[in-house]
Amino acid sequence: MLAAVAGLFCFTGIVISNIYTSHNHASTLRSSRRALSNIEPVNADAVTDAAVTDEVVVVKDPSHPYGKCEIPKAKFSNHPVHTLYQPAFPGSGSRMTYELVEALTGITISNDHNYAVDPNVHNHVVSVKTHYPNRNGISLEQFDDEFHGAILVVRNPVKAIPSFFNFWYERINHLENHSVRAPKEEWIRFRDANLTIQLQSWQKHMDYWLKKYQNDRSKLLVLPYEHLTDNARGPATALKLATFLDSVQGVKAPVEPEKVACLWHRSVKYMDEGVSVEGHAIRKGASATPYTQSQFDAILKVLQAQKWKYEHDPEVFMIMDQYLRHLAHSWLYVG
């Protein structure tokens, strides 16, 4: 099996370009929620109100700091909504973010491939998950008029690239998504053959979406993956997302901090009072993804370039600065 995997690295570009179109036969809660063509439209009021009233009930409980809540079953909106792009570089939490967006709105999400071929989902999904302009995504620019804006999720490339490789490793070995981490030796083979092009792709992806909304940043929400998953910052970051979603025509999201924090905990942290929530998977295996010193320096160089490229964009400048500060602990990654 390892020999076969090694052979595939010679064809990295070809394999990566087709990863997201391959079919995953694992029957999970997530895959069933993605089956957009099998979901029947429901009453519009039921869809939009569910995210705030009947299906999302938060009861303060001193034994649970986030209260108790149920994630609503995501459905097509039965009335037109101003859909959002939901771009992220592969390995940056696309799946996690769409779970949270669905939890906050009760409205289903599409992906770029489905949106391109199925007009029935147009204006009836809250967002469209895409990796474009990365080779795993496809352009939907011909539908730009149907989109209100975008939720851009960014992640430090030092972590995003290994996370993407784990996903790729699972696919080429026919393993369940988010089930295992690739062996260290397989990561090293991928890293040595692909790091340069992956860094270029990460940079290009971020530049594309920031440029797309440079004239109206009110339509672009930038969410750092690290903030969204952090125990201290997560609830506030989720509230920022909920407020942005609630501002979109046809979309209703809770803006009460307690409700949002509970839904964030259930959908992002994958835990409910210490018990794993059904349908969420956590990868098993060693997490070491080391870089050589020269590779680590290349990551620093890209982050520094992005920081100063966006020195007049305080939000992005701060995120890049935080990434660089984190990488000051080089011993965590070089080895």
Give the tens place of pLDDT for each residue, 215-266. Answer: 999 999 999 999 999 999 999 999 999 999 999 999 999 999 999 999 999 8
Cβ burial, residue 231 (10 Å; 0-12/13-18/19+):
exposed
Tokens of 71: 């994630």
> What distances in angstroms separate CA 314 from CA 79, 150, 220, 276, one per listed residue?
37, 18, 14, 37
Percentage of residues in the chain having pLDDT higher than 90? 61
CATH no. for residue 57?
3.40.50
Closest CA to 87 of 242, 201, 231, 240: 201
331 or 279: whose pLDDT is higher?
331
Do 150 and 124 have their domain in common? yes
Do 102 and 239 have their domain in common? yes
Do 240 and 301 have their domain in common? no
Percentage of residues in the chain having pLDDT higher than 70? 73
> pTM of this prediction?
0.78
Number of domains in the chain: 2
Question: Which of the four pLDDT bands, split at 50, 70 and 90, describes residue 55?
Answer: very low
Amino acid identity of residue 305, one-letter, is A
Amino acid identity of residue 115, one-letter, is Y
What backbone torsions phi and psi does residue 80 show, to the nearest 5 degrees? Answer: -65, 135
Please tell me the predicted confidence (pLDDT) of residue 282. Answer: 58
Do 22 and 57 have their domain in common? yes
Question: Which of the four pLDDT bands, split at 50, 70 and 90, describes residue 284?
Answer: low
Instruction: Compute CA 124 distance to the chain's CA centroid, rounded to the nearest angstrom.
Output: 20
Tell me what the mean pLDDT of segment 179-194 comes to: 86
Do 335 and 211 have their domain in common? no
User: Worst-scoring range by mean pLDDT, 87-101, 213-227, 257-271, 278-292?
Assistant: 278-292
- Judged by phi (left if over 0) then psi (alpha if -120 to 50, else beta), residue 250 lies in left
Do 148 and 221 have their domain in common? yes
Amino acid identity of residue 249, one-letter, is Q
CB count within 10 Å of CB 109 equals 26
Question: Which of the four pLDDT bands, split at 50, 70 and 90, describes residue 151?
Answer: very high
CA distance 307 to 202: 14
- Judged by phi (left if over 0) then psi (alpha if -120 to 50, else beta), residue 270 lies in left
Tell me how far apart the 2 most distant CA atoms of the chain are, in Å.
57
Alpha helices in the chain (DSSP H): 2-8, 12-18, 29-34, 44-50, 94-105, 112-117, 157-172, 184-212, 225-228, 234-246, 257-267, 293-309, 314-326
Do 253 and 323 have their domain in common? no
Please tell me the predicted confidence (pLDDT) of residue 177. Answer: 66
Closest CA to 147 of 74, 220, 232, 234: 220
Name the residue range of residue 160's domain. Answer: 2-289
Do 201 and 126 have their domain in common? yes
